[in-house]
Amino acid sequence: MNSFYIEHPRFFVSVDCLVFGFANGQLNLLLSKRKMEPAQGTWSLPGGFIEENESAEAAAERVLSNLTGLENIYMEQLKMFSQPGRDPGERVLSVAFYALIDLGQEALEIKPSYQAYWFNINKLPDLIFDHPEMVDFALKTLRHTVSTKPVSFNLLPEKFTLPQMQTLFEAIYDRPLDKRNFRKKIQSMPFLVKLNEKDKLSSRKGAFLYTFDNMKYEKARQNGFCFNL
C-alpha cells in the first residue's frame, strides 16, 4: 500500500438508514435506541460505521439485515451529511440511505440488541444530531421517487389491493386522493397484473388482488414508457 495521500486527514464514516414500512394504513419509520455515547439511550436512525473493504451501500445493507433479518431490501443512497460538529462526540461523516420494506402480516423480527421500533412518520420522537434533517430529506425524496419510479411496491406485500395502494400513497403524500382518478391511472400502467383472487380482510365484498410485474415494466420502459403518478 502506498501513501500518496498521507498528509490528509482520515474520517470515521457511518451510514444512517431511513427504513420506511407501511402497515395498517400508516407510513412508519424504524428508529433505534442509541447504544453508544454520546446521547446513549435517545432515539436515532439505525446506523453503523463503514468497515474496511466495505462500500457505503454494503454497510447499509449489513446494518439493515442485522436489524431486520431481511436481505435484498430496496435501498437508495440519499446524501452525505458532513457538517463538522454534527456528531458532538467525534468528527463523523455519515451517508444516509433510505430503504422500503413490506411489514405486512409477519411481524418483522427485530434483533433485541437494537431496541428498534416503528414510529408513525407524523409522530416521531426527538432525534439526535442532524437526523431530523435526514428524515425531511428522505421524505421529500420518497415523495418524489414514488411518483417517478415504481418503488412503492416495495412497501406492499407481493399481492396487494388497489385500496391498499391508494392508502399507501395517501400516507406518503399526506393528503387524500381521488379514488377514481387514482385507479384509472394505476390501471393504465402496463405492469399491473390483476389476479383472480380477492382479499376479504377489510370488507365483506372483498377487493381484487394485484401484483407488480417487473418484466412487463422493464419492457414498457424500453419502449419509452415513463412511469409517473
Partner DNA sequence: TCAAAAGTGTTAAGTTTACACCCATGA
Partner DNA sequence: TCATGGGTGTAAACTTAACACTTTTGA
Report the DSSP beta bridge partners of residue 44: 32
Dihedral (CA of 120, 122, 123, 126) sign: positive
How many residues interact with a copy of itself (rule CB under 8 A)?
Answer: 35
Taking CB within 5 to 8 Å according to partner kind, which of a copy of itself, DNA, none is near residue 54? a copy of itself
Q: Does 222 bind a copy of itself (CB under 8 A)?
A: no
Q: Does 175 bind DNA (CB under 7 A)?
A: no
> How many angstroms from the chain centroid is the CA of residue 88?
27
Taking CB within 5 to 8 Å according to partner kind, which of DNA, a copy of itself, none is near residue 84? a copy of itself
Q: Name residue 67's amino acid.
A: L
User: Rounded distance, CA 225 to CA 48, Å?
Assistant: 39
174's torsion region: left (phi>0), alpha (psi -120 to 50) or beta? left
Among 33-41, 104-112, 184-192, 203-211, which window interacts with a copy of itself (CB under 8 A)? 33-41
What does the block give as the cell for 13?
464514516
Q: Which residues bind DNA (CB under 7 A)?
A: 161-163, 178-181, 183-185, 198, 200, 202-208, 228
Q: Which residues bind a copy of itself (CB under 8 A)?
A: 1-5, 8-13, 36-38, 49-57, 77, 79-80, 82-84, 89-93, 95
